[in-house]
Structure 1
Amino acid sequence: MIGPPENRYADPAAWARLEAELGTELPADYKTVVDAYAPVQINGHLHLSHPATSRWNLSEEIRDTSRAWSQTRWERDWTNDPGSDPRQICGLRDLAFGTPQGLIPLASTDRGDVVFLAPQVHGFPGGICVACGDGDWAGYPMPFAEWLYRFLIGEDMAGYKSAAFYPGPVMLESMPMTFDEPVRVSYGPERGM
């Protein structure tokens, strides 16, 4: 659906350093997608970074995003909508970020959504939990590759009414590695959608 992989920055050592820092392995399907295409913005919304690049660096983004979310004061009361409580979605007593027992940021959107890997989502190990741009949370008991596929075919994969379907081929915007390098746009194969 996305097109042939480029694997421009595939580097097992970069993944090993990141996983050692996190204290856990990241899902193989996620690493495969990131190695194949990142750093990239997909269909104008979803942003994926890579651990082997100096710009758009996944390790730095995980560290910075985890630090910012860890400093957030969780004052929201989810008693009226426990289904959007990230602790309930992920089976966690307390929220932690950037740790094996907490939520690890994997991707983000230009609409303010943050896609996290969770230890579990509704009992599914290694599921996807999304902090939605509207302040709610949503859980997806599935691997990253399935979440991405459903995101691209236009399902609500960042909470209620979050679908962003674009017919035709998937658009990939390869992020520039220098300030004077332009964004390179390519397209996946025709999807018949």
Structure 2
Amino acid sequence: MDPSRLVSLLGEPQFNSFSDPAWDRVEGEWGLALPDDYKWFVSAYGPCVLYGTFYVSHPRGAALNLPGYIAYVSQEARTSQDYCPEEFPHPVIPEAGGLVPVVETFEGDRVFLRPPDDGTDDWTVMVRWDTWEWDWHRMGFVDFLERVLSEPAEVPLISRDCFEWVDVPYRLAEHREADEADEPA
């Protein structure tokens, strides 16, 4: 992971709370260890909305609350798997090896982290489009996000129009109180 390219696309992060105890609570609750590149991005930039359409939750977010979002999508997935299994053909946490929902777009697309299952330690990214089709991106979250931002035609999660009419690439979605876990960025 090389965050410098992402920083050049989004600007300097406002936070540096990678060691935030909230990560321990989220990971402990769901029995997993999320990938460092994802935690770095969310700790540095989240909770935020990228280009007005890409909603990123944070463990301490109020409106964009990661534990709440995971619970909501997990429940929705279980219901969909009961009634329309083709809509969610992949397990979602808390199922063993389940995908972890982490981002939603204005259009209803969702980004999931896919835990390693091939003997590596590498998490990858899966996208469930609003059409219920799935794409697997064999890269980490930061590399995936850099691709979304730099090659929008390849991974159209953010409309090309948004790059033109949005004056600031990202905005904090809500005020987040600093605590002892935050360090100056």
TM range (shorter): 0.7 to 0.9
Q: Rate the CA distance shift 1:143–1:8 in 2: closer, same or farther, 3 A.
A: closer
Uncovered stretches (5+) of structure 1, i.e. residues with no partner: 77-84, 88-94, 179-193
Distance 1:122 1:164 in 2: 33
Report which structure shows greater RCO (CA 8 Å, sep ≥6). 2
Letter in 2 for 1:51: P
SS of residue in 1 equivalent to 2:107: coil
Letter in 1 for 2:159: A
Letter in 2 for 1:110: F
Distance 1:53 1:6 in 2: 15
Q: Is the 8 A contact 1:47 1:108 kept in 2?
A: yes
Letter in 2 for 1:176: E
The equivalent position to 1:106 in structure 2, one of 89, 102, 114, is 102
In the alignment, which residue of structure 2 is the partner of 1:4?
12
In the alignment, which residue of structure 1 is the partner of 2:174?
176
Q: Which range moves more in the overlay, 64-73 or 4-13?
A: 4-13
Letter in 2 for 1:101: G
Distance 2:158 2:117 in 1: 20
Q: CA deviation at 1:156?
A: 2.7
Q: How many residues in Structure 1 have an aligned counterpart in Structure 2? A: 160
1:29-54 Cα deviation digits (max 9, x unpaired): 11111111111110122110110133
SS of residue in 2 equivalent to 1:71: helix
Q: Displaced runs of 4+ in structure 1, greater than 6 A?
A: 121-124
Q: Is the 8 A contact 1:106 1:115 kept in 2?
A: yes
Q: Rate the CA distance shift 1:8–1:28 in 2: closer, same or farther, 3 A.
A: closer
In the alignment, which residue of structure 1 is the partner of 2:76?
68
Uncovered stretches (5+) of structure 2, i.e. residues with no partner: 1-8, 177-185
Q: Does 1:164 align with 2:174?
A: no
Distance 1:39 1:66 in 2: 20
| Greater per-residue helix proportion | 2
Q: Rate the CA distance shift 1:44–1:163 in 2: closer, same or farther, 3 A.
A: closer
Q: Rate the CA distance shift 1:15–1:75 in 2: closer, same or farther, 3 A.
A: closer
TM-score under structure 1 length normalisation? 0.72
Distance 2:159 2:118 in 1: 24
Aligned alpha-carbon RMSD (Å): 2.8
Q: CA deviation at 1:131?
A: 0.6
Letter in 2 for 1:47: Y
In the alignment, which residue of structure 2 is the partner of 1:18?
26
TM-score under structure 2 length normalisation? 0.75
SS of residue in 2 equivalent to 1:50: coil
In the alignment, which residue of structure 1 is the partner of 2:67?
59
* Identity %, equivalent residues: 28
Q: Rate the CA distance shift 1:75–1:102 in 2: closer, same or farther, 3 A.
A: closer
1:50-89 Cα deviation digits (max 9, x unpaired): 101333211111111111112103343xxxxxxxx975xx
Letter in 2 for 1:171: P
Q: CA deviation at 1:9?
A: 6.2
Q: Rate the CA distance shift 1:140–1:123 in 2: closer, same or farther, 3 A.
A: farther
Q: Is the 8 A contact 1:9 1:53 kept in 2?
A: no
Q: Does 1:143 align with 2:146?
A: no
Q: Is the 8 A contact 2:51 2:158 kept in 1?
A: no
